[in-house]
Amino acid sequence: DVQLMVSGGALVRPGGSLRLSCAASGFTFTDYYMNWVRHTPGKGLEWVARINEDGSEKYYLDSVKGRFTISRDNVGDSVYLQMNSLRVEDTAVYYCARGYDYADYWGQGTLVTVSS
Amino acid sequence: DIVMTQSPDSLAVSLGERATISCKSSQSLLYNNKNYLAWYQQRPGQPPKLLIHLASTRESGVPDRFSGSGSGTDFTLTISSLQAEDAAVYYCQQSWGAPPYTFGQGTKLEIK
């Protein structure tokens, strides 16, 4: 079975940093684009970042460009989201999801709270 | 960015009745005879679940009471005979061209 195990969410102060991890299993990881999608009560679902199979192509939502970095480890079958200079508006549940233009499998999500 | 607008924001439907959710995009999602539109279901405390992609292609394991239709800028998700487990929030999402791939605001479906 496809599984995406997400971890790393926490309470962090504005301006702080956090690294989210997503461990994949049950499929050939190197065959798929991977994504981070977040859900906030105010803005709903937002496609935050995407990385291609070998890590050479990355996409970022405009509001996180220059602050967030997506990366992947194709040996350990994991994808990461490094979040720096966090803002209150980055508060959300962050999901790891598999797919190129739609997400066919999602992890359970991890809560990131940015608050002073 | 392409703006996705769903209607209604919420609806209540009786068990066994039909539920219909609309999704409109600010530009056409049609390319090479395919409409780049997906539908997801999200139950409380759960991640979204993909129901339909390319506007009308149902995912494996999704009950056939769920169907997607439409083309261009106007799309519909129909649940033909509502079951209790269908109570959830439903989202449409476009994937036309390059990112950002945007979602509708969601439609909350309740059992009447």
pLDDT at B73: 98
pLDDT at A42: 85
- What lies within 8 Å, CB to CB, of B102 at 6+ separation is A47, B1, B2, B3, B4, B93, B94
pLDDT at A82: 98
- Residue A69, CA atoms < 13 Å, CB-side half-sphere: 11
- pLDDT surpassing 90 at residue B98: no
Q: Looking at the partner chain, which of A50, A61, A106 has a beta carbon nearest the beta carbon of B47?
A: A106
pLDDT at B71: 98
Can you point out the beta strands (E) in chain A? 3-7, 11-12, 18-25, 34-40, 44-51, 58-60, 68-73, 78-83, 92-98, 105-106, 110-114
d(CA A82, CA A17): 8
Residues in chain A: 116
State the DSSP code for B10.
E
Say whether residue A110 is in contact with chain B using an 8 A CB cutoff.
no
Output phi, psi for B64, to 5 deg.
Answer: -75, 0
Residue with tokens 């996705």: B4
pLDDT at A50: 97
pLDDT at A41: 83
pLDDT at B70: 98
Digit-coded pLDDT (tens) for A75-94: 999 999 999 999 999 999 99
Residues paired with A12 in a beta bridge = A114
Count of CB pairs separated by less than 8 Å, A with B:
48
**Which of the four pLDDT bands, split at 50, 70 and 90, describes residue B16?**
very high
Digit-coded pLDDT (tens) for B18-75: 999 999 999 999 999 999 999 999 999 999 999 999 999 999 999 999 999 999 999 9
- Contact (CB, 8 A) for B8 and B108: no
Contact A45 B99 (CB under 8 A): no
Digit-coded pLDDT (tens) for A32-75: 999 999 999 888 999 999 999 999 999 999 999 999 999 999 99
